[in-house]
Structure 1
Amino acid sequence: MTPPVRRIGLLLEPGFPLLALAAVVDSLEAANELQDEARYRSEALSMNGGMVNAQGGVSVQTLGATPPTDWHAVFVIAAEPSTADAATVALLKRWATDGVVLAGLAAGAASLAAAGLLDGQRACADWLLLDGLADAHAGVAWTQGLWDINAAGDRLSAAGTAATDLCCAWLTSQHGERLGQELQQAMGLAGLRPRDERQRGGYSEQRGAGSPKLAEALALMEANLGEPLPTEEVATLVGVSRRQLERLFKQHLDTLPSRHYLELRLARARRLLQQSSQSILQIGLSCGFSSGPHFSNAYRAHFGRTPRDERSQRAQAWRAEPSSGDRP
Structure 2
Amino acid sequence: MEPYEFPGDGQYDVGFLLIPGFSQLAFSSALEPLRMANHLTDRRLYRWHLLSRDGEPVKASSDLAAGVDAGLASSPRLDLVLVCAGIEVQSHCDRDTLQWLRRQAGRRLPLGAVCTGGYVLAQAGLLDGYRCTLHWEHISSLHEALQFPQVTFCSQLFVLDRDRYTCSGGIAPLDMMLTLIARQQGLGLAEAIAEEFIHERIRGVGDRQRNPLRVRLGHSHPKLEEVATLMEANLQEPLTLDELASHADLSRRQLERLFQRYVDCPPLKYYMDLRLMRARQLLRQTHMPITDVAMACGFVSPPHFTKSYRDRFGHSPSRERERRRDREAAAQAASPPLTHSQADHSQ
Using the size of structure 1 for normalisation, the TM-score is 0.58
CA contact (8 A) 1:67 1:94 kept: no
Deviation, structure 1 residue 158: 0.9
* Aligned equivalent of 1:42: 48
CA contact (8 A) 1:110 1:133 kept: no
In structure 2, C-alpha distance between the alignment counterparts of 1:168 and 1:136, rounded to whole Å: 31
Stretches of structure 1 that go unaligned for 5 or more consecutive residues are: 213-328
In structure 1, C-alpha distance between the alignment counterparts of 2:50 and 2:76, rounded to whole Å: 17
- Farther-moved stretch of structure 1 (122-131 vs 85-94): 85-94
* Aligned equivalent of 1:304: none
What secondary structure does 2:67 align onto? Answer: strand
CA contact (8 A) 2:191 2:202 kept: no
Stretches of structure 2 that go unaligned for 5 or more consecutive residues are: 1-8, 218-262, 264-269, 278-347
1:130 aligns with 2:139: yes
In structure 2, C-alpha distance between the alignment counterparts of 1:165 and 1:19, rounded to whole Å: 13
Q: Which amino acid aligns with 1:105?
A: V
Q: Map 1:163-178; keep pairs closer than 5 Å.
A: 163-178=173-188
In structure 2, C-alpha distance between the alignment counterparts of 1:204 and 1:158, rounded to whole Å: 21
CA contact (8 A) 2:181 2:190 kept: yes
1:120 aligns with 2:134: no
Determine which structure has greater relative contact order: mean sequence separation of CA pairs < 8 Å that are 6+ residues apart, divided by chain length.
2
CA distance 1:206–1:122, change in 2 (3 Å): farther
CA contact (8 A) 2:54 2:73 kept: no
* Aligned equivalent of 1:156: 165
In structure 2, C-alpha distance between the alignment counterparts of 1:102 and 1:36, rounded to whole Å: 27
Deviation, structure 1 residue 206: 5.2
Deviation, structure 1 residue 126: 0.8
- State the Cα RMSD in Å: 2.5
Deviation, structure 1 residue 142: 0.5
Q: Map 1:51-90; keep pairs closer than 5 Å.
A: 51-62=57-68, 63-66=70-73, 70-80=77-87, 81-82=89-90, 84-90=93-99
CA contact (8 A) 2:13 2:78 kept: yes
Deviation, structure 1 residue 6: 2.5
Q: What count of residue pairs does the alignment treat as equivalent? A: 208
Deviation, structure 1 residue 204: 6.4
In structure 2, C-alpha distance between the alignment counterparts of 1:97 and 1:8, rounded to whole Å: 17
Q: Which amino acid aligns with 1:47?
A: R
Deviation, structure 1 residue 82: 2.1
* Aligned equivalent of 1:193: 203
In structure 2, C-alpha distance between the alignment counterparts of 1:48 and 1:200, rounded to whole Å: 35
In structure 2, C-alpha distance between the alignment counterparts of 1:138 and 1:201, rounded to whole Å: 26
* Aligned equivalent of 2:307: none
What secondary structure does 1:44 align onto? Answer: strand
Q: Which residue, out of 13, 23, 26, partners 2:29?
A: 23
- Farther-moved stretch of structure 1 (4-13 vs 26-35): 4-13
In structure 2, C-alpha distance between the alignment counterparts of 1:108 and 1:205, rounded to whole Å: 25
CA contact (8 A) 1:144 1:196 kept: no
CA distance 1:163–1:204, change in 2 (3 Å): farther
Q: Which residue, out of 103, 112, 115, partners 1:103?
A: 112
Deviation, structure 1 residue 24: 1.9
Deviations 1:122-141 (A, max 9, x none): 11111110022333212111
What secondary structure does 1:27 align onto? Answer: helix
What secondary structure does 1:56 align onto? Answer: coil
What secondary structure does 2:28 align onto? Answer: helix
Counting strand residues as a fraction of each chain, which structure ranks higher?
Answer: 1
* Aligned equivalent of 1:144: 155
Deviation, structure 1 residue 29: 0.4
Q: Map 1:230-245; keep pairs closer than 5 Å.
A: none
In structure 2, C-alpha distance between the alignment counterparts of 1:198 and 1:4, rounded to whole Å: 31
In structure 2, C-alpha distance between the alignment counterparts of 1:19 and 1:10, rounded to whole Å: 14
Deviation, structure 1 residue 93: 1.3
CA distance 1:94–1:204, change in 2 (3 Å): farther
Deviation, structure 1 residue 203: 4.2
In structure 2, C-alpha distance between the alignment counterparts of 1:43 and 1:69, rounded to whole Å: 8
In structure 2, C-alpha distance between the alignment counterparts of 1:184 and 1:158, rounded to whole Å: 18
